[in-house]
Amino acid sequence: MTNQQDKTIIITGGAGFIGSHVVRLFVTKYPNYRIVNLDALTYAGNLENLRDIEKSPNYFFERADILKTDEIEKIFSTYQPDAVIHLAAESHVDRSILSPLDFVYTNVIGTVNLLNTAKKSWNNNFANKLFYHVSTDEVYGALGETGFFTEETKYDPHSPYSASKAASDHFVKAYFDTYALPIVISNCSNNYGPNQFPEKLIPLFINNIIHKKSLPVYGDGLYTRDWLYVKDHAAAIDLIFHRGNKGETYNIGGFNEWKNIDLVKLLCKLMDEKLRNRAGTSEKLITYVKDRPGHDRRYAIDASKINKKLGWKPSVTFEEGLSQTIDWYLQNEDWLKHVTSGEYQNYYELQYSKRDGR
Ligand code: NAD
Ligand code: DAU
């Protein structure tokens, strides 16, 4: 999609972690675009993430569930969007193990519902239209000690979450092949940064260190993830949205692999410095606990396609990004307090109370 003319874009999941960074980037960088944030505000959606831009004249919020066809059709009919950037999803692997059907509903059926609505609203006139699906590297399964996921790697998902994202990717591709709906997909590695819900490794451990709670490392702690700063993911989405080839997939990654235990030790060191703790204080909180079932050993993205074709690369080092992330959480303790009250406590109890000891 070129960025010459005005356009209206529906961004789903815009109140969540990555979605809020994408909404902010588009609202501020493209004042001539109308940005409609369509979000159901589940436990993971939080309008506090967008306070700084909510009064912008080109920003609109619609609370709606992507599973409810009538709600979605009404929003399409009101705004007549040129494009959809679809991020709304159930996104946490551990929750998918507790409750797989929620993931099938939102990630698979919700996505198909949106595809149908876009197709119907565009009335088979697809010129200058785009359905952009934001997906994950977890669809590719797990790597051994070496190798990388490329855009050609066969799908081999292992968790209910990754299976649901793989299914949604297949539907998006099927709408391109069957109906010529213009689509693009990106598959990204682990994101971190401000506004991430503290169920994911980095913000959960920051919150626990603040409250001197134990740091539950799954299994032997030698699982490897490829970490990317969320604003770099948003920048990649911007590039792919405007310059990606229709029908294609782009892998996005940080060229930044860390074994969980090494990452946790770095996080502990930075937290001790920032909290003016004695060195080694936070590391004492590390507790090895029962492993996640079906735990993928290693993820690593080969991001050379987006690098070569679109000139994208990460803009911050991991140490810089992690330091900025910790500062954000320390400066936004109210945000943390709000999202960790109520339902979060029940989730934490359910997820971690039976995990102690291996
Ligand atoms: P998140 O859980 O922080 O946010 C998800 C958002 O979707 C929330 O605002 C929630 O309210 C909304 N939502 C959920 N169900 C909905 C429904 N039925 N209707 C409308 N809105 C609904 O997720 P995130 O980490 O920001 O991930 C966003 C997307 O990026 C997801 O599709 C995820 O699979 C993908 N992704 C995430 C990562 C990562 O590391 N977090 C990496 C790669 C890809
Ligand atoms: O790879 C992209 C994916 O990254 C996204 O698609 C998902 O939405 C996102 O949640 C993330 O999935 P992971 O399962 O890799 O992220 P999580 O933060 O849950 O876990 C990161 C690693 O840390 C993983 O190996 C499990 C481990 N872990 C996690 C938690 C929450 C622990 O050891 N202890 C924990 O308490």
Q: Per the domain annotation, does 348 fall within a domain?
A: yes
- CA 200 to ligand 2: nearest atom: 18
Position 214 in a domain: no
Q: Is residue 34 part of a domain?
A: yes
pTM: 0.98
In the chain, the number of structural domains is: 1
Confidence tier at 279 by pLDDT (50, 70, 90): very high
**Ligand 1 within 6 A of CB of 225:** no
Ligand 1 pocket check for 45: Cβ under 6 Å: yes
Decide: 186 and 249 in contact? Cβ < 8 Å.
Answer: yes
Instruction: Give the whole-number percent of the chain exceeding pLDDT 70.
Output: 98
Q: Are 194 and 266 in contact (CB under 8 A)?
A: no
Residue 137 included in any domain: yes
Asked if 34 and 61 count as a contact pair (C-beta separation under 8 A), the reply is no
- Residue 358: CB atoms within 10 A of its CB come to 11
- Tens of pLDDT, residues 53-88: 999 999 999 999 999 999 999 999 999 999 999 999
279 within some domain: no
Which atom from ligand 1 is nearest to the alpha carbon of 191?
40
State the residue range of the domain holding 161: 8-192+227-255+299-315+342-352
Residue 230 Cα to ligand 2 middle (Å) = 15
**239-266 mean pLDDT:** 97
Bridge partners for 174 per DSSP:
none
Residue 229, pLDDT > 70, answer: yes
CA of 135 to the centre of ligand 1 (A): 10
pLDDT in tens, 84-96: 999 999 999 999 9
In a domain, 309, yes or no: yes
CA distance 168 to 165: 5
* CATH value at residue 83: 3.40.50.720
Domain assignment of residue 332, yes or no:
no
Catalytic residue among 82, 90, 94, 138: 138
Which atom of ligand 1 lies nearest, measured to the CA of 192? Answer: 40
CA of 130 to the centre of ligand 1 (A): 19
User: Could you tell me the pLDDT band of residue 3, with boundaries at 50, 70 and 90?
Assistant: low
Q: Using the mean position of ligand 2's atoms as its centre, give its distance from the Cα of residue 330 in Å.
A: 22
